Structure formats: C-alpha cells, structure tokens
Structure 1
Amino acid sequence: MMPSYFVAHGAPLLALEDNSYTRFLKELGGALPRPKAIVIFSAHWESRTQQVSEVEEYSTIYDFGGFSEALYQIKYPAKGNHRVTEKITKAFSQHDVPFEVETTRGLDHGAWVVLRLLYPEADVPVISMSVNPALSPQQQYAIGKSLAALRQEDILIVGSGGTVHNLGAVKLHQDNGQVDNWAVEFDDWLEHQLQHWNLEALFNYKQETPVAELAVPPYGNEHFIPIFYAMGAADDEQSARLAHRSYRYGNLSHSVWQFGE
C-alpha cells in the first residue's frame, strides 16, 4: 500500500537551492517504493470543476515572476498515463464527483518543483489535478477518498501546497532562521489534530484556532486545502506522520505529512 503525502512546495527558488529541505525531498524520493504513477493536486491549479489531466508529455509552466533567469530554463518533461487517468475518472463517476478531462495544460511550479526534487529524471508518469477552494474541507476530503483504491496499485497521491503560506506576512529578505510564533502555533495545532485524525476540528480550522487567519488567509486557502485531498486518500487507515517541518522567511512552512503506511 502506497502512502499519500502532503508536501510543501515553498518558493520557486527551491528548484535551484541545496538546503535541508531540498535534500530531504531528494532522500524521500529515493526511500519510497517506486510508484507506477503520481497523482498530484497542486495549489496553483484552481478550478470550480475538478480537472483531471490527460497529457502525453507535459510542458513546464513558469507561473511566477522576478526570479533568477536560471529558473526559466528548467524543464520537467514528465509524461502522463492514459490508463491512470481512466482509473481516476471511473472512480470519480462511481463516487459522483463532477470532473472534466484537461488535455493541454502543463505542470505549474506547485507540481514540478516538488516532482523534480522527488524524481529528477521525470521518469514517473504524472496525472496533474486541480483544487477547488470554494468547496468545503469535507468535499475536498471526499474527492481524495474516492481515489483511495489507487494506493493499492502503487500509485502515489500527493497534495502540494503549504500549511502556513501567507504572502502578505513572509519576509523574503529575512532568512536567518527566526520563526514567527503564530506560524509555529498553527503548525503545532495542526500536528495535534492530524495525529488524532480529528476531522471535526480540521474541517473547522478557521474557528478552532485564533491564528488560522494568519496561517491560512482567506485569499490564500488554496495552499492549505491540498492537505484534505491527501488525507482523504488515506481515510481507510487514518494515520498521520510528520516527516519534515522547517521554515523560511520568518513563517513560510516547509511541512511534509505522510498519511497511511
């Protein structure tokens, strides 16, 4: 049984950096059983109807600006997999999840930065998936749950985002290891709820902790919600393990959670 993961994709510069977090992701890719395919829900692909990619070979999307020219030279030409897309659409149909198949979109940086660190050769098929911030956490969890059977077929399900991701609060010129208390407080709260699989509290995170509005601002919840898709995919086991946690720029969280065994 393949676990599912929530992985923080951080700032695009991670694609060029060598630090404790990038090294962790590289080691994780080497330690996991090699998946037959990866299904990745990216915070940077939002849609009102669930999108499922069916692409022969992905282009690389540079959905950011103002960074080193070297970032725009990176390519991640992963291939899709028609049979896995069919499995996903069949599962969605069986669970009454509305969806559309998308046949042209490339991989945004929420997907390719993470995937390139995990599998740098781009030799594992990828199915890119959108997220919908307008849905309730319960609905997002249910979408992930509908795909749980894929884990039995050695398919890796990943939610890519960030548990603390507030672009209005990050300090891009402060990277000295100091971390804002409110960011740690939210991640500590989240850790406790995840380890107890407390869905009631997690689904009501906005009301459950006073720092939620800072950690998950109303205009930026698309980075937090991939965690519900990844959790839902492991509903049959309901176990969570914090694999990594670190911070950059005062409060940008690099958290990796494993769901299931």
Structure 2
Amino acid sequence: MIPSYFFAHGAPSIVLEDNEYTKLLKEFKDRTPRPKAIILFSAHWEETVQTVGAAATYDTIYDFGGFQDELYQMMYPAHSDRVVVEQIQNLFTQHGVKSVRDEQRGLDHGAWAVLKLLYPDADIPVVALSVNRDLPNEQQYEIGKALAELREQDVLIIGSGGTVHNLRKLNWRSEDIDGWAEQFDNWIESKVEAWDTEALFQYRGLAPYAGEAVPTNEHFIPLLLAMGAGDVNRKAKLLHRSYQYGNLSLSCWQFN
C-alpha cells in the first residue's frame, strides 16, 4: 500500500531551487513505488463543492506574479484518468460527499510545482482535487479518509499546502527562523505523530501562535486530507522540515 503524503509547496520558485527539501522531492520517485495515478489536493484550488479535475490534458496555471521569467515558461502537461475520477466520485458518494467534475481547469502552482519536482516527466495520470475552507476540520479529515482504499490500488494521495503560511509576515531577506513559526510547527508535529486528531481538529484554539501561522486555513487543510487518507494504520513520519523567508514552512509528512 502506497503511503499518503503532505508536501508543503512553499513559494512558486521552489521548483527552481536546490536545497535539502527539493533534493528530497527530486529523489522521491527513486525510493517510492511508481504509482498508477496521483490524487492531489491543492490549497490553491478552492471550491464550495468538492471538485474533481478531469481534464484530458491539464493546462499549466501561473497563479502568481513577480517571480523568475523561467517559471512562466514551465509546463506540466499531465492528463487525468477517467477511471480514477469515477472511483473517486463513487467513494465520495458512498461517504456522503457531494462532488462535481471539472474538465477545463488546469493545474495551479500548488500542484504542478510539487509534481514537477516529484515526477518531472508528467507521465503519470493526475487527478486534481479542490479544497473547501468552510468545512470543519473533522470533515476535512473524513474526505481524505474516504479515498484511503485507493492506496491499495497503487494510487498516490498528496495534500499540497503549508502548515505555516502567512504571506504578510514573510521576510524575503531573512535567513533566520521566527520562533513563533517553530513553536507552532513543534506543536503540530507532536500531535500528528501521536495521531491526536481531537487536538488537531481544535488547533486554532490550542496550538501556540495558531493565528499567526494559519491566518487563513486553505493551506493547512491539505495536511488533514492527507492524514485522513492514512487513517487505516495511523502511522505518521516527518520526513523534512525547514523554512523559507523566516517562517514559510517546508515540510513533508508520510502517512502509512
């Protein structure tokens, strides 16, 4: 059974960078069984109804500005998989999750920047999935859990976001790490490793500096989705954690 994963996607320029985190992502395909398809929840695709990407070939969305020209030339022409789309929607229906298809939308940078590091040849089918910031955390977890059985069919489930994501507090020239960001992530780490979902669902009222770390929750949601997909065995492993620009977290969680 392939584990599910949470990847922080950081700034869009991460796809051009060479550091310990991007090294981990680039080596991922060499140490992980090749999946038959990839399901990816992106923090940058928000819908009020769970939406399932079904484009024949995805366009590449450049949903950012002010970065290197090279980024705007990159493409990730992956295609969806209608069989997997059907399986996803059937599972959602079985678990009481309403879903719709979108056959037009491309891949935003929360999806393609991560995928280009993981599988640069874009030769594995991808089913992009939206997130809904208005749902309670318990329901986010259940959405991921609804798809867990697909892991037994060699489908890789990924949540792409960031545990600490506050663009207003970034220091673009800083090489230091803000203590409040570390304290929040330390709390998250302890609760995820203990699989303390009760505390995680209430993180906003319990975790230190939650307001600073998660001013809006769309980037945190993919962690709960990926964790839900790992509910069968409830084993979590932090593979990496570092920071960009003082407090933008780059973390990778594996859920077996």
Query: Do both share a fold (TM > 0.5)?
Result: yes
Given the alignment of the two structures, is residue 248 of structure 1 paired with residue 244 of structure 2, yes or no? yes
Aligned twin of 1:62: 62
Aligned twin of 2:152: 152
Letter of the structure 2 residue corresponding to residue 165 of structure 1: H
What is the TM-score when the length of structure 1 is the normalising length? 0.97
* Aligned pairs for 1:91-240 within 5 A: 91-174=91-174, 176=175, 178-217=176-215, 220-240=216-236
Q: Are the equivalent residues in 1 in contact too, given 2:184–2:210 (CA < 8 A)? A: yes
SS at match of 1:244: strand
Cα distance in 2 for partners of 1:32, 1:112 equals 19
Letter of the structure 1 residue corresponding to residue 203 of structure 2: Y
Aligned twin of 2:32: 32
Letter of the structure 2 residue corresponding to residue 75 of structure 1: M
CA drift at 1:221: 1.0
Q: Percent identity?
A: 56
Cα distance in 1 for partners of 2:133, 2:141 equals 12
Aligned residues: 256
Q: Are the equivalent residues in 1 in contact too, given 2:183–2:208 (CA < 8 A)? A: no
Cα distance in 2 for partners of 1:194, 1:75 equals 34
SS at match of 2:129: strand
Letter of the structure 1 residue corresponding to residue 213 of structure 2: A
CA drift at 1:209: 1.8
SS at match of 2:57: coil
Aligned twin of 2:48: 48
SS at match of 2:27: helix
CA RMSD of aligned residues (A): 0.7
Letter of the structure 2 residue corresponding to residue 255 of structure 1: S
Large movers: runs of 4+ above 2 Å: none
Letter of the structure 1 residue corresponding to residue 197 of structure 2: L
Q: Are the equivalent residues in 2 in contact too, given 1:30–1:118 (CA < 8 A)? A: no
Q: Are the equivalent residues in 2 in contact too, given 1:7–1:160 (CA < 8 A)? A: yes
CA drift at 1:29: 2.4
Q: Are the equivalent residues in 1 in contact too, given 2:41–2:158 (CA < 8 A)? A: yes
SS at match of 1:241: strand
CA drift at 1:210: 3.0
